[in-house]
Amino acid sequence: MILLVAVILAPLAASLLPLFLPTGGPRREARLVLSTLAALLPATLIGRVDGLSLGFAALVSSIALLATWFSSGGAAFGQRVGDIVGDPQAAAAWSRVSVYFGLLGAFWSAMLLVVLATNFTVLWLGISATTLATAFLVGFASESASLEAAWKYLVLCSVGIAFALLGMLVLAHVTLAAGIAPAEALSWKAIAAHAPSNAPPLARLAVALMLIGFATKAGLVPMHSWLPDAHSKAPAPVSGLLSGVLVSCALYALIRTLEVAAVLGAEPLARAILLTAGALSTVFAGTLMLGQTELKRLLAYSTIEHAGIVALALGFGGPFGRLAALVHVIAHAFAKSAAFFSAGLVQRREQTTALGELHGLWRSGPAGKMLLATLTALAGMPPFGIFVSELLVVMAGVIAHAWLPLGAGLVGVALAFTALSRAAIEIESGSPHPHKKALGGPLRTPLSTGAAAVALAGAFAAAFVPWTALGGVLVSAATAVAGAAP
Amino acid sequence: MNVELLVLLAGAVLIVSARTVFVLAAYAVLAVTASLLIFPSVLASPVALAFFVVTTLMKVVVAPLGVILFVRGNPTAADLRPSLTLPLRLLLAIGFALVSAAAAHIPALSAIPLQRLVAYVVLCGVGTLIVHRNVLSHILGLLVLGAGVTLAGAALAPQLPESIELGATFDALVGTFIGLALIREFATHHPALDVESLKRLRG
């Protein structure tokens, strides 16, 4: 228990302890060392938590560490937040980076709380804590659009998690009535062991409310409207974390809810909800991606599309569908964080993310080349992990004979592919603007570029996950969840 | 006065009134009533009682004070700018009351105590969020929704007071401190606190 608490609190401590050191180099280096140690700590939980929790904890820590590296690369260049995020508005509003890193550490710890929880109460608290930490990160620039995005994020996600809490309380009513002890009423292991398979209709109400609540945080249609604003208006590293891992944490909550639904005999309803939300999300997001004129907003809509693909995979069900969902979560987390990091580097150089104003990025340095690679990855093209995971999702759909949702998903993927390919061609071809100057000059350290490159390498390596030891862990986790079904 | 009637009237004012001060008064009535109904369930656990005290202070003292301060600083924020006309708001309030009454007749819910009250408070919370365009009403809507969920917890799972109150505290924390802090920044760009400006981010 103490070890678990230490793993969860380590990122927060890693962001706060350097504040006792002098500003500048020592503080930055201490932050880098401590955050790297914090990211390694989940390895100590091998054998102590289940494979699903461990896999997600490793994913959260990997991407959060890269976001910290990315942010520190910018900070090396000055102590103004605008230098981190490449945003002059932020530079005007914030003069110290300590608040930024404190919130980043709190966000990281909150996500670890979500994925290392053993019951829904703690999981819900973690999800709520992410809202507390990130509402200010989204509105970090303090300019009108980012504050409005933060407001939307706060209100819609609060409503969503309130419904999830209501669902959990209904679930507790059902499990307590089934004779489960109060201390374990919301523990998925206890529910799997003791809950009746012929649960009352209230169990279905509980599952539906929880799915709707957690799907709001995952940005699934029709509860998605906060996501494009929040993810596109936040600083680039925060956008990478929101799209890459916060959405993954919400999808983790959906997986745990599905696990309980299977035990309580509410799986058909849960799968129907996930298939509907997944199909709507892929088609809706794919369609809107075609009309986007801003790079980060395009990437934000792409997150909705990929969350929809994961929901479809979970809805198809069975060990194969769940394995596809888990592989897709990993591949998307790395690809999307790499995309936002690259977009941040491009924004820093070009001072804009408007697609119409970005040209010749291929010739403008490594950021442009990495951005092309990440757009290729997100479009589902080989050799990246999303290509493999999308193939797995299609196979899961075929096995499940779920032709309508599968067809809708394929249409959505095709639309997204078109939008991403068009954007890639538009911004990479032509000549770069000669008059553009990087905000405050070039990066002095390769740390930010390196973080984006490592994330991109992760998006590539994810293609091999099903055939590695990690794939074995995921298969066990997927089978364990599926095996919970009566 | 009957508790259900009091809540019914307060909920109707939340939806129908366009003045911040009336809606704030209705919110205060709902928050205090919900707290009084929840209070007996937290007495069994000192931890739950401590969370209850913190939550009640945030909901009944801090949030209303924050709203009053904003209205004093921005007189234009005294108008909640409803997006529905008065007859439609009245119809909505009546509809919420009827739906809540119908909830009592659903067999699956019939054994749950306070089911009508819980359904009505939750619906009024969502309604307050939907009907008014002023962001102050959104804070009040979130807190009413939170009060409804906590009331549901006290009715559905009285054996879990700590979990319920911990959830309520987080809800209140988000609504009160984070919400009011964001409104403070928001007010510098939109003194009328009109949420319509959010529309330009859509699409």
From the list A155, A287, A269, the residue with the least C-alpha distance to A221 is A287
B143: tokens are: 């807190």
**Greater confidence, A128 or B193?**
A128
Contact assignment for A152 to B198 by CB distance below 8 Å? yes
The set of residues, in sequence order, having a beta carbon less than 8 Å from that of A389 and lying 6+ positions away, is: A309, A324, A327, A328, A330, A331, A332, A462
For residue A415 the two structure tokens come to 């639309």
* pLDDT attached to residue A197: 66
pLDDT value for A71: 86
| Alpha-carbon span A429 to A422, nearest angstrom | 11
- Contact criterion met (CB < 8 Å) for A142 and B152: no
- Whether the predicted model's global pTM rises above the 0.95 cut: no
Radius of gyration of chain A (CA): 21
Assess whether pLDDT exceeds 90 at residue B171. Answer: no
Q: Is residue B39 over pLDDT 80?
A: yes
Interior angle at CA A60, CA A333 and CA A103, nearest 5:
110
Q: Could you tell me what percent of chain A has a pLDDT over 70?
A: 89
Q: Does A201 touch chain B (CB under 8 A)?
A: yes
Does the beta-carbon distance from B185 to A229 stay under 8 Å? Answer: no
- Nearest to B38, CA basis, from B59, B13, B12: B59
Q: Could you tell me if A147 lies within 8 Å of chain B, comparing CB atoms?
A: yes
pLDDT band at A335, cuts 50/70/90?
Answer: very high
Kindly state the helix (H) or strand (E) to which residue A216 belongs, with its residue range: helix A201-218
User: Do B179 and A154 lie within an 8 Å CB cutoff?
Assistant: yes
Least confident residue range of A362-371, A373-382, A385-394, B133-142: A362-371
Residues on chain B touching A121 (C-beta within 8 angstroms):
160, 163, 166-167
Q: How far apart are CA A397 and CA A234, in angstroms?
A: 35
The string of DSSP letters for B61-97 reads IIHHHHHHHHHHH-GGGGB--BSS-HHHHHHHHHHHH
Give the helix, strand, coil percentages of chain B, each rounded to 5: 80, 5, 15
Enumerate residues 6+ apart whose C-beta is below 8 A from A5.
none
pLDDT above 90: residue A485? no
Burial class (CB in 10 A: 0-12, 13-18, 19+), A46: exposed
CA–CA separation, A234 vs A230, rounded Å? Answer: 6
Say if residue B70's pLDDT is above 50.
Answer: yes
pLDDT at A190 over 50: yes
Per-residue model confidence (pLDDT) at position B191: 65
- H helices within A429-461, ranges in order? 447-461
Q: How does the average pLDDT of chain B come out, rounded? A: 87
pLDDT band at B27 (very low <50, low <70, confident <90, very high): very high
Residue A292's DSSP bridge partners are none
Tell me whether A217 touches chain B (CB under 8 Å). no
CA distances from A150 to A67, A93, A99, A104, B64 (A): 20, 16, 17, 16, 22
| Position with higher pLDDT, A335 vs A136 | A335
- Distances in Å between the Cα of A239 and the Cα atoms of A119, A236, B26, B60, B186 are 28, 5, 39, 35, 21
Distance between CA atoms of residues A145 and A426, nearest Å? 26
Provide mean pLDDT across the span A103-115. Answer: 95
pLDDT value for A384: 93
Nearest alpha-carbon partner for A68 in A142, A9, A137, A11:
A11
62-121 of A, contacting B, C-beta below 8 A: 121
Q: Which residues of B touch A (CB under 8 A)?
A: 107-109, 112, 122, 125-126, 129, 135, 138, 142, 145-146, 149, 152-153, 156-157, 159-160, 163-164, 166-167, 170-171, 173-175, 178-179, 181-182, 185-186, 189-190, 195, 197-198, 201-203
3-state helix, strand, coil in chain A (%, to 5): 80, 0, 20
Q: Are A124 and A259 within 8 A, CB to CB?
A: no
Rounded CA separation A157/A139 (Å): 15
Cβ distance A159 to B178 less than 8 Å, yes or no, reads no
In this prediction, residue B197 carries a pLDDT of 60
State residue A439's pLDDT score. 47
Q: How far apart are CA B13 and CA A266, in angstroms?
A: 38
Task: Return d(Cα A6, Cα A12) in angstroms, integer.
Answer: 10
* pLDDT tens by residue, A255-313: 999 989 988 888 899 999 999 999 999 999 999 999 999 999 999 999 999 999 999 99
| A226, two tokens | 């906060």
Residue A445: which pLDDT band, with cuts at 50, 70 and 90?
Answer: low
Q: Is B110 a residue whose pLDDT tops 80?
A: no
pLDDT for A434 equals 64
B146 Cα to chain A: minimum distance (Å): 7
Residue B198 has what pLDDT?
56
Question: Whose CA is closest to B115, among A316, A433, A173, A220?
Answer: A173
Of A327 and A476, more confident: A327
Confidence of residue A444 (pLDDT cuts 50, 70, 90): very low
Instruction: Give residue A473's pLDDT.
Output: 75
Q: What is the pLDDT of residues A228-264, one digit of tens each?
A: 888 888 888 899 999 989 999 999 999 999 989 988 8
Q: Residue A484 pLDDT more than 50?
A: no
At A76 the pLDDT is: 37
Nearest alpha-carbon partner for A62 in A343, A332, A333: A333
For residue B176, the 8-state DSSP code is I
Helices and strands, number each (H, E), in chain A: 21, 0
| Mean pLDDT score across all residues of chain A | 85
Q: Report the b/e string of A313-339 with b at 16+ CB within 10 A.
A: bbbbbbbbbbbbbbbbbbbbbbbbbbb
pLDDT at A193: 85
Find the range with the poorest average confidence among A115-129, A138-152, A389-403, B155-169: A138-152
CB contact under 8 A, A154 and B182: yes
Q: Which of A146, A108, A426 is nearest to A297 (CA)?
A: A146
Between A481 and A19, where is the model more confident? Answer: A19
Question: What confidence score (pLDDT) does residue A195 get?
Answer: 73
Beta bridge partners of A187: A119
Which tokens go with B169? 């505290």
Q: Quick one: which of B180, B177, B81 has its CA closest to B130?
A: B81
| Residue A481 pLDDT exceeds 70 | no
